[in-house]
Chains A and B, each alone.
Chain A
């Protein structure tokens, strides 16, 4: 029976942890209590991407887009929208309220997006295989098995121009071709779902919202290269994704889409999960393979590449989650179609996790070649609280920053590299004038120092030394030759480190020095942090002219170090002040001076 309405509730991690689960249960209870469950179907979907506004509820067919919905709103949604057919105005996304014909794809957050990888996220219930099949799921596998030879699959992927979405951007078709052409008794297909880049969560959203697309793509890869076993290496920090993958594997086996004699052919393929345990270096492919083997995740020099000698010494094809998610669509719609999207060298789309000081945080997917301005201002809704844009950081601890002069540069693999950043896995962190570049760089170095496996000296020693230099600069103890030292060490690390982690970890330093050397000099020479972030160089005081004696600051001070009577000027005791800045935030009269 067809339902009159479909209620899509986001069940991604961000929404689910924000009372989304209780909301789902409340809606379910309400539907059953009113008998409306005969007319409306409640669907638990993957991430809508608009995490800033979560939990999100979308109602079909009229596409009403409800944001920040709580369990207490369930009753009204069912009584008004489902039973009486009246939109619940107060829950609509604010932009939508102004229009007469509310359709969610018109929201500016979605208007410039093109969802290929995220095609099924927030559309289907990821826990039911039939919903994936209804959206052409496993049709690409069928096409590959019955209508295409492995060579044809390789050339289709090659011609599409698909490149690895995990960071380096190596052509996927070439990887498959290498592995296919090696003679071996056993080959493997591996999916890299060890999303370690802080601030990136697209892989998690795909696995949670559309797990079958990854299983299908890996099976196609297995058929193409001649492998019968696949492993998904996934972070243990993603319990929901793990659960949904296990569920998807069981369902696919039941349907004969995975396991022995897939779709009645002679081809068999099986997929198992292996959990990571919190090591960033395991995103590097040779370290990842070591970890799947149950060992310490230490990288080894390449060549030999995993395509020749990978898991347990056998030829192995490794791709990232987002890369795999593109594969079924390419086979179904053809390489020409995919090739028409994007720029000269970078085809298709890219998913970005847009976070930081931006109004609309969330997960977005745009065609390659979209400009940063479109992403930040049209999709992201601009900088939060009206501050000025300073830089966007892409590529995480291996990447660099994009400054305002490049706002109109079309983003693809090559342009990002030429301006000293990189695509990376797609974390995009927006920074405003309150963020100090020395501080942010120190943050990234602290991360890579902590994550360095310690095997090779350039990374182990170089990273630590860079961190120490940045640390003293941020404490007002920088020395005149520190900038040159940072540049030299960075150069050595890039040339001499064993794996990608060490080679790229000086990138945040190099990139911020390239665009913000003045800011470094202000720290070193003037002992000042222009952004007002580096606490050791800050002092807090109260302007007696402006202070009205409201006591707000004194009440918030955790030490306490602020004294003063009601309606009289307050004073901060600088010797006791811990520079937490809470007084600065508390004062409504701008009387607290941060300098």
Chain B
């Protein structure tokens, strides 16, 4: 994909951080914030700018759960699988979402509308079970409510 190029503000961010210790993870966060994931060609660009081996960058990306190597769906669904949410039926939410969307966990629907992932505790245990869509939190969920929530985001 040729549309993936580091924009000027990211380049200046990287240059600003270049001489700071422990910069790589901070830079990767910024890159992912912009692209939604870390495109391969960008990883190479970052390697050039920071003067570190690409292998080191991939070592870090693959170690940490948060960094993504492929583009997520237009709407990102994250179901909390912290202990409280698990006990209160978080897994049932995932099963129902998989049924509704026809794709499994960590996948994107064919039309690119939704991607589903399970995440660690997001700290809203009082509202368990919880999921977020594009960061918006939906709490005390029941599988039956999911359809309406999905409709709220589809095509918008």
Contacts and interface: CB of A to CB of B under 8 A. Distances in A.
Contact of B25 (A52, A291, A427, A581): A291
A279 B83 contact: no
Interface string A451-483: 001000000000000000000000000000000
Given A51-B126, A201-B121, A275-B29, A429 B92 contact: no
Given A278-B120, A280-B120, A556-B144, A355 B65 contact: no
A18 B127 contact: yes
B112 interface: no
Interface in B110-125: 119-125
Interface string A16-50: 01100000000000000000000000000000000
A17 B139 contact: yes
Interface in B67-101: 67, 81-84, 86-88, 92, 95-96, 99
A557 to B, nearest CB: 12
B123 A204 contact: yes
Interface of A: 13-14, 17-18, 51-52, 54, 195-201, 204, 236-238, 274-280, 291-297, 312, 353, 355-357, 361-362, 393, 396, 427, 429, 431, 435, 440, 443-444, 447, 453, 556, 558, 578, 580-582
B49 to A, nearest CB: 14
- Best-buried of A199, A274, A362 by chain B (most CB within 10 Å): A199
A429 B137 contact: no
Given A198-B82, A278-B65, A17 B125 contact: no
B26 interface: yes
B21 interface: yes
A236 B31 CA distance: 14
18 contacts: A17-B139, A51-B124, A195-B123, A196-B120, A198-B84, A199-B83, A199-B121, A277-B28, A277-B29, A277-B67, A279-B63, A294-B24, A295-B24, A295-B59, A355-B84, A355-B128, A429-B87, A431-B87
A277 B61 CA distance: 9
Nearest to A353: B125
Given A199-B82, A293-B22, A357-B87, A277 B125 contact: no
Contacts of B67: 277
Nearest to B96: A558
Contacts of A362: 126
Contacts of A357: 87-88
Given A51-B125, A279-B64, A297-B63, A236 B83 contact: no
B9 interface: no
Contacts of A51: 124-127
B23 interface: yes
A17 B95 CA distance: 24
B22 A393 contact: no
Nearest to B22: A294
A75 B25 CA distance: 46
- Best-buried of B21, B24, B99 by chain A (most CB within 10 Å): B21
Nearest to A581: B92
A244 to B, nearest CB: 14
Nearest to A275: B29
Given A293-B22, A393-B83, A443-B86, A14 B66 contact: no
Given A237-B119, A362-B126, 18 more contacts: A13-B124, A14-B139, A51-B125, A274-B22, A275-B26, A277-B28, A278-B64, A278-B120, A294-B25, A296-B63, A361-B84, A429-B84, A429-B87, A443-B86, A444-B83, A556-B144, A558-B143, A580-B95
